[in-house]
Amino acid sequence: MSPDQIGFLTLLKKEVKRFWSVLGQTVTAPVITTVLYLLVFAQAMKDRSSAYDGISYTQFLLPGLVMMAVIQNAFANTSSSIVQSKIMGNLVFLQMAPLGPFEWFGAYLLAALLRVTLVAMAMLAVTLPFVSLPIQAPWALLAVFLLSGSSLAVIGLIAGIVAEKFDHIAAFTNFFIVPLSFLSGVFYSVHALPTLWYQASHLNPFFYMIDGFRYGFFGQADAPIALSLAWCAGFFVLSSAVCLRMLITGYKLKK
């Protein structure tokens, strides 16, 4: 193995160890939150139809909740790691190391993907006794999951680079990530929305992540799967281009 590969793997392992050492916060907590959402909404809206043939509302709800957790946790993993290192000052160890922008990008992204995979698997495992989900389009499911988790990991990396304190990350989470993930059809089919909100939903990239993920389970969704995949891929490419440019130029990282 070359020294560059060892460096990359070390950063990846370090990032995995970082979230692993606080597993209660990073995996267990989002699983509990999702289960609570599922219990409350499934109970409150049990008489409501899902708008999909042969799919109960509880079944409809679960993929959206899982994807919402993926979105929020992928973002939180990278953004909190970078901003914490900046505030503690230990980012210098990484900045002085012989690691290039692509190693940073890849290691942070893969660690976040591993965390959200654990979160998603744990959610599906915990809810399995109550909700059974078919998997009609596994490749679409996997592609949407990977593209969505990666995109939000990269957005988190961008936010971490730009942020100078935790407040900046909290603002980004509260005013961008949470509203867009809640207004993306997690709890409802966008067909049930008034025209204006229906159209607005189609400009929200998180809508395509949730809708495409749901397609993977049910083989049906609000938007065509090709469109959802295109949005997810486009969002990933765009966010990656911005992030890599920041890492290559040292934006906000080098004085």
Partner 1 sequence: MQTAIAIAGVRKTYGRLTALRGIDFSIRQGEFFGLLGPNGAGKSTLISIIAGLTRMDAGQVSVMGYDTVLQFRQARRQLGVVPQELVFDPFFTVRDMLRIQAGYYGCGREAWPWIDEMLERLDLSEKAGSSMRALSGGMKRRVLIAQALVHRPPVVILDEPTAGVDVELRRTLWEFTTELHRQGTTVVLTTHYLEEAQELCERIAILDKGALQVIETTPQLLARHPFRFLRLKLADGSVLPESLRPMVVGEVNGAIELKLESGKHPIAGVFVALRDAGIAIEDVQTREPDLEDIFVELTGEHARPQEAGA
The residue among 2 and 195 lying less far from partner 1, judged by its C-beta, is 2
Helical (H) or strand (E) element with 178: helix 178-182
Query: Which residue blocks in 163-249 are alpha helix, DSSP H?
Result: 166-172, 178-182, 195-201, 205-218, 225-249
The residue among 106 and 234 lying less far from partner 1, judged by its C-beta, is 106
Instruction: Please report whether residue 4 would count as binding partner 1 according to CB under 8 A.
Output: yes
Sign of torsion over alpha carbons 122, 126, 129, 134: negative
Tracing tokens 């020294």 back to the chain, one arrives at 3
Instruction: Please report whether residue 3 would count as binding partner 1 according to CB under 8 A.
Output: yes
Instruction: Please report whether residue 25 would count as binding partner 1 according to CB under 8 A.
Output: no
The residue among 12 and 223 lying less far from partner 1, judged by its C-beta, is 12
Instruction: Please report whether residue 134 would count as binding partner 1 according to CB under 8 A.
Output: no
Instruction: Please report whether residue 24 would count as binding partner 1 according to CB under 8 A.
Output: no
Cα-based distances in Å from 27 to 10, 32, 70 = 22, 9, 11
Sign of torsion over alpha carbons 43, 48, 50, 53: positive
Out of 16, 29, 51, 99, name the contact with partner 1 by CB under 8 A: 99
The residue among 165 and 191 lying less far from partner 1, judged by its C-beta, is 165
Q: Residue 204 gets which letter from DSSP?
A: -
| Gap between the Cα atoms of 244 and 98, Å rounded | 17
Contact letters for partner 1, residues 73-92 (x by CB under 8 A):
------------x--xxx-x
Stretch that binds partner 1, among 40-48, 62-70, 95-103, 235-243 (CB under 8 A): 95-103
Instruction: Give the CA dihedral 108, 109, 111, 114, nearest 10 degrees.
Output: 170
Cα-based distances in Å from 101 to 89, 92, 122, 139 = 19, 15, 32, 30
Instruction: Please report whether residue 101 would count as binding partner 1 according to CB under 8 A.
Output: no
Total chain residues near partner 1 (CB under 8 A): 31
Instruction: Please report whether residue 16 would count as binding partner 1 according to CB under 8 A.
Output: no
Instruction: Quote the least distance from Cβ 199 to partner 1, whole Å.
Output: 45
Stretch that binds partner 1, among 4-12, 56-64, 168-176, 209-217 (CB under 8 A): 4-12
Instruction: Please report whether residue 2 would count as binding partner 1 according to CB under 8 A.
Output: yes
Instruction: Give the CA dihedral 225, 231, 236, 242, nearest 10 degrees.
Output: 180
Out of 1, 43, 139, 194, name the contact with partner 1 by CB under 8 A: 1
| Gap between the Cα atoms of 41 and 60, Å rounded | 11
- Residues 253, 95 contacting (CB under 8 angstroms): yes
Stretch that binds partner 1, among 15-23, 37-45, 159-167, 217-225 (CB under 8 A): 15-23
Where on the chain is the footprint of partner 1 (CB under 8 A)?
1-4, 6-7, 9-11, 13-14, 17-18, 21-22, 85, 88-90, 92-100, 250, 254-255
